[in-house]
Amino acid sequence: MIDRNYDLYSSSIQKKEPWMISKIRFLFYLLFVSPVYCFGQTSSFPTYDKDLLSPEFFKNRREALREKLPDSSMCILFSAPERNRSNDVYYTYQQDPNFYYLTGITEPNAVLIIYKMKGTPTTEQSGEYLFLADYDKKNEQWNGRQPDFNDATKISGISRVKSTTEFQNSRSLFTEINYILHLRFPKGMVDTKRDEQDLYSLVEQFKLNSNYPSVADDDFKLGKIINELREVKQIEEQERIRKAIDITCTGHLEMMRALETGFSEYKIQAVGEYIFKSEGAEATGYPSICGGGENSCYLHYETNRKPLESGDLILLDMGAEYHGYSADITRTLPVNGKFTAEQKAIYEIIYNAQEAAFEACKPGNAFRDPHQRALDVITNGLIQLGIIKDESEVKSYFMHGTSHYLGLDVHDVGTYSNLKAGNIITVEPGIYIPEGSPCDPRWWNIGIRLEEDVLITKDGYEVLSARLPRKWEEIEKVMAEKSFFNK
């Protein structure tokens, strides 16, 4: 549809207005209406979401990083590569989390440089630079609005936004530098021969201009510095993660209500992901795990095609992603709405293990303390049920850790040392007894995991996913309710 303003001049001709009046209208359009249309609407990158992270947040994160850099140094980060799915179809672009954490930019083929120079630099090595590919009208016509340099400044708070052509042609960016810190070069880069501004060309030109690797110094690990920053979530990050978790809880509740015998794994997956999208999530934080029956015993099962039968359990490990931040929640449900006696027995062990793990979620405790608490409860529970005879056998049924960091990555980066206020972690004990296990067959094909998202506070912990029922009795009660998906 053509904008109403677009046809102002032609409409004056159609009405056959006096020549002078139409001339005045035309001049008015050129001087006032056209600039507003061309520069106010088309040139301003549209921001549909009003709760994105602010430029002040990204500026604060860059300053925190700069403080940890050595003097007379620079760090350089590259955006993530675009990834081809098949032929001329590409996967939806996903920015490198570190690059996003420091800039808020979601465009490919970009470079960030941050300097820390001692004294007053006499060259251009001061402050920070963001380099973006030149504006491409043809690409925009196909793929939608792309931010220009002014837009990038508004998003990131970086005043010096330039073309990647300048990055490639400027050796002076790398002079008078004692240390150049960088992360591993992005995996999966493709040399697009017709594009001199592609990521492959940017990395190769960096190596040439910086005399790589002679100026790099392994004493300062950029990855370690960024991991230390990202493991403690700022208030703004906590708010986005809370939103992702709230959306995820709503999806899990609807899956509890909708699930019934005759569903397939993919149908219940569709219910949850529909709610995620309808509540504002941009995507899932990871491929949804919807394992029914024997598939509940596979940790990262993603096929999701099995028809579900009465008596099956289904393990639903699903999380929404909101503005780059992911939730990660797991519930295990009885397909027919009622747990069997054996399923209840295993479920109770997992619930008690999770409760014990929560008590270890305190600042100053070792990161593995929650896991050890959960492991002790699971070991004793399996021995009491006769499923194992010795504690050494527990790893056959509980083979993963209990916690990981959560944030821009579902398995987020961090030091994995002592817990700190501001950490957000998962607490996810599980028991998986596949068919053929050396125990009574009545336990076979029972796979149960409970997973919560937990904020470490200055005094202890907060379960961010607490509104989603955990006790088996509560789950059965919600499953007795009806969903609009069943109508």
For residue 148, give both structure tokens. Answer: 């220009």
The rounded distance, in Å, linking the Cα atoms of 238 and 407 is 9
Q: Which of 415, 57, 21, 469 is nearest to 238 (CA)?
A: 57
Residue 111 contacts residue 78 (beta carbons within 8 Å): yes
Q: Which of 107, 151, 265, 451 is catalytic?
A: 451
| Residue 231 neighbours by CB under 8 Å, 6+ apart | 405, 412, 413, 414, 415, 420, 423
Q: Which of 432, 452, 453, 470 is catalytic?
A: 432
The rounded distance, in Å, linking the Cα atoms of 467 and 474 is 11
| Residue 320 neighbours by CB under 8 Å, 6+ apart | 244, 247, 248, 251, 276, 279, 281, 283, 284, 285, 326, 327
- The distance of Cα 241 from the centroid of its chain, to the nearest Å, equals 10
The rounded distance, in Å, linking the Cα atoms of 98 and 28 is 48
Catalytic (active site) residue 428 = yes
Q: Which of 145, 171, 300, 442 is catalytic?
A: 300
Q: Which of 96, 254, 273, 317 is catalytic?
A: 317
Catalytic (active site) residue 440 = no
Q: Which of 182, 404, 412, 453 is catalytic?
A: 404
User: DSSP code of 349?
Assistant: H
The rounded distance, in Å, linking the Cα atoms of 243 and 467 is 13
Residue 333 contacts residue 313 (beta carbons within 8 Å): yes
Q: Which of 198, 428, 452, 453 is catalytic?
A: 428
The rounded distance, in Å, linking the Cα atoms of 451 and 251 is 15
Q: Which of 204, 400, 416, 476 is catalytic?
A: 400
Catalytic (active site) residue 317 = yes
Catalytic (active site) residue 449 = yes
For residue 462, give both structure tokens. Answer: 């907060």
User: DSSP code of 395?
Assistant: G
Catalytic (active site) residue 391 = no
Name residue 307's beta-bridge partners: 264
Catalytic (active site) residue 432 = yes
Main-chain dihedrals φ then ψ at residue 277, nearest 5 degrees: -65, -45
Cis peptide before 213 (omega within 30 of 0): yes
Q: Which of 212, 411, 416, 476 is catalytic?
A: 411
Count Cα atoms within 13 angstroms, Cβ side, for 463: 19
The rounded distance, in Å, linking the Cα atoms of 332 and 170 is 56
Dihedral over Cα of 210, 215, 218, 219: its sign: negative
State the virtual CA torsion across 275, 276, 278, 281 in degrees, nearest 10: 170
DSSP string, 144-186: -----HHHHHHHH--S-EEEHHHHHT-GGGGTT-SEEEE-PPP
- Strand 128-132 relative to strand 111-116: parallel, antiparallel, unpaired? antiparallel
Q: Which of 254, 260, 273, 328 is catalytic?
A: 328
* Cα angle value 149/68/214 (rounded, 5°): 80
The rounded distance, in Å, linking the Cα atoms of 157 and 57 is 9
Catalytic (active site) residue 404 = yes
Name residue 132's beta-bridge partners: 163
Count the Cβ atoms, other than its own, within 10 Å of residue 322: 27
Catalytic (active site) residue 328 = yes
Residues with active-site annotation: 88, 300, 317, 328, 400, 404, 411, 428, 432, 449, 451
